[in-house]
Structure 1
Amino acid sequence: MTILMTERLALRPLLPDDAEAYLAIRHHPEVVKWVPKPLPGVIERFAVSWEERRYAPWGVFEGGRLIGHGGLNYVPEFGETEVLWALHPDAWGKGYATEVARASLDYGFETLGLGLIFAIALPDNVASQAVMKRIGLTYRKRVAYRGFKDIVWYDKSRD
């Protein structure tokens, strides 16, 4: 199990015991405005990805409390790896998303040797786009993804 510690956060794979707290965050009305509700079995799919790829989104813990998820996710529709984050609104505005995203980029480029990592967001999600810019991603294009017709795409290559 790959666990990362940042300055203020612990990042570890989600476990079945985390499901109730995790789903409460993912179904929070303010979170659902920006990311789709998870499909059933999401924690199990993350576990499979950890086994197959050595990465998936981590649970993000602050002081031992689950506050969301963040990390890397392979997206077969694009054939690339995404850096992502979704935090409980109580954790917004504290720099946690940037902290998680930076640690995830480092893990992806330095530990896994990935060549490219991207992030996507709704065009009006300016907070996530600000995180993307802070971690060094560059706007590239607009894409359609899982029912969303207009998503902004930022990315960064290891080079």
Structure 2
Amino acid sequence: MFCPTCFQKVNVELQRELVLDFEQLPGVLQEIASLIGPENAMKIAQTYGGVRLYVPKRMKPDHPLAELVGFENACALSTALGGLAHLYIPQSHVLILEARKRAILNDRSQGMSIRELALKYRLAERHIHTIQKAALKADLAAARLAQETLTTTNLSKEDRHDR
């Protein structure tokens, strides 16, 4: 995905070998990322995830936000979001779990064994099986929904044709 401010390909490194596309960030983090970059948005999510964040209208160099993302970035946030209502920052662990799940499924599709995945991601083999099974169920549900939609559409066309 491309960052809207710098128009460069952006992946946010979450944990060892896990990346998150800019597009996968929740709304408020996408807005923050567009102002100060995805890496800094994730720093904010990791620090303030699950709580409300107030961005002051006038940023000071010793403000915790300035210390976290740098004074220049904090000023950019202050200019765009300063003085508004408190922003609810989503918890970063949900983003990390989703990115890990996608990485596991990708590695599995590339031929890695359950054992190798368990060792790589420091999970139980049973948990890898659970992730794989849930993904398979989701794929089957999506396929059924697509089939039902196609069938309904075809029936509607036949009804119109008969009239």
- Does TM, normalized by the shorter one, top 0.5? no
TM-score tier by shorter-chain length is: under 0.3
Larger radius of gyration: 2
Instruction: Please give the TM-score of this superposition, normalised by the length of structure 2.
Output: 0.26
More strand by share: 1
The TM-score, its normalising length taken from structure 1, stands at: 0.26
